[in-house]
Amino acid sequence: MLTMSPFIFRMMLRQLGPRTQGVAMFYRLQKRGRREVQGRFLSQKGRKERVKNKRRHHPPRIKIVLKLMGKMLTGDNALMCHQCQRNDKGRVVWCNSCRNKRFCVPCIERWYPNLSEDEFAAKCPYCRKNCNCKGCLRMRGVEEPPKKEISEENQISYACNVVRLLLPWLRKLRQEQMEEKKLEAKIKGVLVNEMKLEQAEYNLDERVYCNNCKTSIVDFHRSCKYCFYDLCLDCCVEIRRGEIPGGEEIMRVKPEDRGRAYLFGTTNSKDGSKRFSMRRHSSSLENEPSNVVGSSEGANNSLELWKAESDGSIPCPPKELGGCGGSILDLKCFFPEKMLSNLEERADRIMRSEVFAKAVAKRSDQCPCYDHSGNIRTQDVRETANTKGSSDNHLYCPVATAIKEDDLAHFQMHWTKGEPVIVSDVLHLTSGLSWEPLVMWRALREKKTNGDVEDEHFAVRALDCLDWCEVEINIHMFFVGYMKGRTHHMTHWPEMLKLKDWPPSSSFDQRLPRHGAEFISALPFPEYTDPRYGPLNLTVKLPDGALKPDLGPKTYIAYGFYQELGRGDSVTKLHCDMSDAVNILTHTAQVPYARYQLEKIEETRKKMKEQDLQELYGVSELNLSSPFTDSRNISADEMSKTSCNYGLDVNDVPPVNNESEVQSGAGQCSDYIDKDRSYAGMHNGERTGGALWDIFRREDSDKIQDYLRKHATEFRHIFCNPVKQVIHPIHDQTFYLTEEHKRKLKEEYGVEPWTFEQKLGEAVFIPAGCPHQVRNLKSCIKVAMDFVSPESVNECMKLTGEFRRLPPDHRAKEDKLEIKKIALHALNQVVNFLDPSSEWSKSWFAQLKNKKKAGAEEQEKPKRKRGRPCRKSNDEAAGDRHRKKGGRQRGRKRGYGKSKDGAGAVDVKPPKRQRNLLKGSGNRVGG
């Protein structure tokens, strides 16, 4: 501790201005005076004596301060604000509830605009548990949101519903396994009843996947006894048919970067300059389809040479495909052979019981959205489509604060049909913690995780929706642009940036515990959505210690613009999630634009349309009657009618670097009107929503794919290049259907989506398998979480089959959800709940735990050199890099037991080796 000479001290006193500065100086000097005496640090004994003596009088320097200041401000006269920890901001409001906390008026107006001074006086944010000061945001030991009490009767009803929906899938799985077992018995020359499969070792915290198609293996599979190559049953069927198993490989060619001028409508660009150094082709997009059609001849030739034998047996693939080519793949299993048959028998017995009949009898087929005459009710519904003769033009839209116990059955009626559900006012269920971007940034700033300080607090990689490239930007600058806007240099074209899955590298709950608890408390219908106990959320039923998918929550922060620009819009392109999802809009910000900026935007739009007509349609001049031109687009004059004449301060947001100057708009003007959707989210001539959603029906997926393949060249993607290659129109995530394309889709195929605007505080439920796209109308912060409902299991299985047929390096290839494992464990748990007397309810997981312990004891044994590893995706490689930095690796070794099949083959137990296992790598399931 440094000392202060009397001369310096007197000079400092002369500089004391306002009385409040003297108060702050008094506190600092009083604390320092207790630890110093005559320029020397005191020993512990001397410090105690000095403190004891100072109880009677203050040291000289403190006396001088007291003499100058007079009486100290204490009690009701204290001015220290709990939010900013300052006492020089004037008047403060005391809390009459705790009589301890006080907040200054500037902090009240800035950080709590929805609370009046009277509400502060009645109960401060600290007492309301929504204080967003630094100390409270980083508070440890955050209280968990209370769990909803569910009666035993409802628990039985939910369990019966799970059994009813999952039992047909289990029967189908058993049938596939029995057919493979019969074929194996025929190959071995034994009877099916005498066939005994080798049970491979399996731990709960492992994921075993097929070396060929990357799909997770749940039970039966084929494996090589020498190189340990694993093959799923689906690949086995395809090989026997003579097909290329798991999808063929496609040659990848990087998109062409034609320079910045090309992005803004210059067809013959002479500007060959590339993006600035901090901008690069997004790594998340590198696995997307390229602009050149081609195939990897070498890999495909090897796959074509890999064929089944005449008796149906399958040899190990050649070394080019990761195998050894030296043996026949043996059929093996993970669980005892009688386990699935026993589970099916118990489930059948439950469905024939009186308990099940009573639970099913309570179900009603009459939807409350319609009256007895079949007319739609206006309460709790929202018109989202206008298809003639359709009965689902309206979506169920309850209010979160008015949801009752019986409304869950109403929700299930729509959810079973695959219809989205919109729940409004979900933030009213929470404590009111602020979702302001700077509040979230402050909660993360300077916070350490595992002793490491990462640069993600200061710089993040955002995605620019104009050319779909990543740009590195300071996080504070990103949030300033979120509130005030950012524009591309010279063109004044709005710069639309997106942050996906933020914060990165760790769990949302760990990094933002207060916001994580706030999000959980906001989730409507917790029976489906609660990630801790939801009885109808099948992912909850995975046993402790099992490797679970990363289902969120994650934040999606992006800029927005009211009018559809046609290029560079802030969008999430058309895609289909593997699981169900709920998405909550927690914050919006309207960015103002001046009249001259809107005129510049319209000029650039004309250049872009001319470029599109010339490149895509071969038209040299702009033809207003062309199919591409949307006559409903608002002109610059129309847009500026409601905008103000104030200019923009181009110095509000500093440029990212010298080569790319980005400016912000800080003018104040009102919202202009977008007439594109007259029935979606308009109120008194103003937009009330933050994001425009288009959700298509599951049954329309094939028609949408046909349309996109037919019109693929009319769309642009990376570097604004026209799309020339399509592998899967939906899973590629390269298309966004504009208003014009949605109109053409309805005319040509009769397909119309549910279109609506998501307002602040609304939760959107998206069923698995529904193609959907989103466009931000304002700057938005959305928080999403995935879940698996029993009604969507069949659709999840279908999507898993589609993903496994994609090329090996496709972005959606990896099976991150493991829906078969989830369904099997969920069915086993509910059957044990409804039929706890069976011995199988305890033996299954006990065997797995014993194997895990036995595997740990054998880890010290010498191991043979493992076979050639399978190809890994980018996400897996990233997980491996994370584990090398200190990530924990548990249960990654596994071996095989002695074979006891009828043919008497393979009587040797091979040593332990590395299997195709994947530990938790933080891969997000949803799109």
What element of type H or E holds 757? strand 754-759
**Looking at per-residue confidence, does 836 or 859 come out higher?**
836
Interhelix angle 152-188/354-361, rounded to 10 degrees, is: 120
CA 595 to mean position of chain CA atoms: 37
Planar angle of CA 350, 352, 357, nearest 5 degrees:
90
Q: Residue 418 corresponds to which tokens in the numbers above?
A: 């695959």
Q: Tell me what pLDDT residue 695 has.
A: 97
- Contact (CB, 8 A) for 724 and 713: yes
State which amino acid sits at residue 580: D
Comparing C-alpha atoms, which of 846, 891, 893 is closest to residue 339?
A: 846
Helix, strand, coil distribution of the chain in percent, nearest 5: 35, 15, 50
Phi-psi region of 696 (alpha: psi -120 to 50; beta: other; left: phi over 0): beta
Tens-place pLDDT, residues 804-817: 998 888 888 888 88
Q: Confidence class of residue 725 from pLDDT cuts 50, 70 and 90?
A: confident
pLDDT of 300 reads 54
Q: Give me the helix-helix angle, 354-361 and 337-351, nearest 10°.
A: 60
Q: Report the distance separating Cα 708 and Cα 711, nearest Å.
A: 5
Q: What is the pLDDT of residue 304?
A: 67
DSSP class of residue 680 equals: S
Beta carbons within 8 Å of 381's beta carbon, 6+ residues apart = 369, 394, 395, 396, 397
Instruction: Read off the pLDDT of each residue in 173-198 and give the average, rounded to a whole number.
Output: 91
Looking at residue 292, what is its pLDDT? 35
Q: Please give the pLDDT value at position 162.
A: 95
**Which pair of tokens denotes residue 916?**
């195709």
Cα separation, 602 vs 597, whole angstroms: 9
Separation between Cα atoms, residue 844 and residue 81, nearest integer Å = 59
Name the one residue in this structure whose structure tokens are 């209370």.
Answer: 146
> What is the pLDDT at residue 250?
73
86 or 672: which carries more pLDDT confidence? 86
Beta strands in 390-523 (DSSP E): 394-396, 421-423, 459-464, 469-474, 497-502
**What's the burial of 735, exposed, middle or buried (CB within 10 Å: 0-12/13-18/19+)?**
buried
Running DSSP on this structure, what letter comes out for residue 256? Answer: P
Task: Report the pLDDT value the prediction gives residue 838, as an integer from 0 to 100.
Answer: 63
- CA 454-459-462 angle, 5° bins: 125
Q: Please report which helix (H) or strand (E) contains residue 689, including its range.
A: strand 689-695
Would you say 127 and 95 are in contact if contact means Cβ atoms under 8 Å apart?
Answer: yes
* Integer Cα distance of 506 and 516 in angstroms: 13
Query: Has residue 635 got a pLDDT over 90?
Result: no
Q: State the pLDDT at residue 665.
A: 36
Write out pLDDT tens, residues 486-535. Answer: 998 778 899 999 988 777 656 777 778 888 889 999 999 999 999 999 99
> In this predicted structure, which of 261-275, 458-472, 549-563 has the lowest mean pLDDT?
261-275
pLDDT at 259: 75
Helix orientation angle between 60-69 and 6-15, rounded to the nearest 10 degrees = 20
pLDDT at 10 (0 to 100): 56
Amino acid at the residue 828: N
Average pLDDT value for residue range 168-175: 94
State the pTM of this model. Answer: 0.77
Question: Whose CA is closest to 473, among 276, 666, 665?
Answer: 276
pLDDT of residue 907: 36
Question: What's the pLDDT at 226?
Answer: 87
Residue with tokens 């103003």: 686
Of the candidates 718, 584, 636, which has an alpha carbon nearest to the alpha carbon of residue 263? 718
Is residue 826 very low, low, confident or very high in pLDDT (cuts 50, 70, 90)? very high
Q: What is the pLDDT of residues 219-254, one digit of tens each?
A: 999 999 888 899 999 999 999 988 888 877 777 667
Beta strands in 128-256 (DSSP E): 198-199, 221-223, 230-231
**Does the pLDDT of residue 825 top 90, yes or no?**
yes
- Asked if the model's pLDDT at residue 651 lies above 80, the reply is no
For the chain, give the number of residues.
927
pLDDT at 290 over 50: no
Mean residue pLDDT of the chain comes to: 75
* % of the chain with per-residue pLDDT over 70: 68
pLDDT, residue 629, reads 41
pLDDT tens sequence across 872-897: 444 444 344 333 333 333 333 333 33
Task: Give the pLDDT band of residue 788 (cuts 50, 70, 90).
Answer: very high
Looking at per-residue pLDDT, the higher value among 630 and 335 belongs to: 335
- Helix or strand or coil: residue 432? coil
Calculate Rg over the CA atoms of the chain: 32
Which pLDDT score is estimated for 146?
86
Number of other CB atoms surrounding residue 371 within 10 Å: 9
Q: Enter the DSSP assignment of 542.
A: S
**Whether the Cβ atoms of residue 583 and residue 772 lie closer than 8 Å to each other:** no
Give the per-residue pLDDT at 205.
80
- The pLDDT tens digits of the residues spanning 344-399 come to 999 999 999 999 998 888 777 778 887 777 677 777 888 888 877 777 888 999 99
Match domain 368-444+459-619+689-810 to its CATH number in 1.10.10.10, 2.60.120.650, 2.40.10.480, 3.30.70.580.
Answer: 2.60.120.650
Residue 888 makes CB contacts below 8 A (sequence gap 6+) with 919
**Residue 406 confidence (pLDDT) above 70:** yes
Q: For residue 668, is pLDDT > 50?
A: no
Task: Flag whether pLDDT at 420 surpasses 80.
Answer: yes
Are 666 and 594 in contact by the 8 Å Cβ rule? The answer is no
The pLDDT of residue 899 is 35
Note the pLDDT of residue 787: 96
Nearest to 743 by CA among 807, 658, 676, 798: 676
Report in angstroms the alpha-carbon separations of 365 from 391, 406, 412: 15, 14, 11
In 165-246, at which residue ranges do the beta strands (DSSP E only) sit?
198-199, 221-223, 230-231
pLDDT in tens, 732-761: 999 999 999 999 999 999 999 999 999 999
pLDDT at 396: 93
Question: 473 has which bridge partners?
Answer: 460
Residue 464 CB burial class (10 angstroms; 0-12, 13-18, ≥19):
buried
Is residue 922 within 8 Å of 879, Cβ to Cβ?
yes
**Pairing label, strands 580-589, 763-766:** antiparallel
305-309, 627-631, 663-667, 685-689: range with highest mean pLDDT: 305-309
Q: What is the pLDDT of residue 679?
A: 39
CB 687 within 8 A of CB 777: yes
pLDDT over 50 (residue 288)? no
Q: What pLDDT does residue 583 have? A: 97
pLDDT band at 783 (very low <50, low <70, confident <90, very high): very high
pLDDT band at 324 (very low <50, low <70, confident <90, very high): confident
* Domain parsing of the chain, residue ranges: 183-247+308-363+818-848, 368-444+459-619+689-810
Question: CA–CA distance from 534 to each of 26, 198, 402, 539, 841 (Å)?
Answer: 55, 36, 20, 9, 21
pLDDT at residue 701 is higher than 90 = yes
For residue 927, name the pLDDT band (cuts at 50, 70, 90).
low
What is the band of 75 on the pLDDT scale with cuts at 50, 70, 90?
Answer: low
Of residues 730 and 620, more confidence is placed in 730
| Residue 375 DSSP SS3 | coil
In this prediction, residue 253 carries a pLDDT of 62
Higher pLDDT pick, 825 / 320: 825
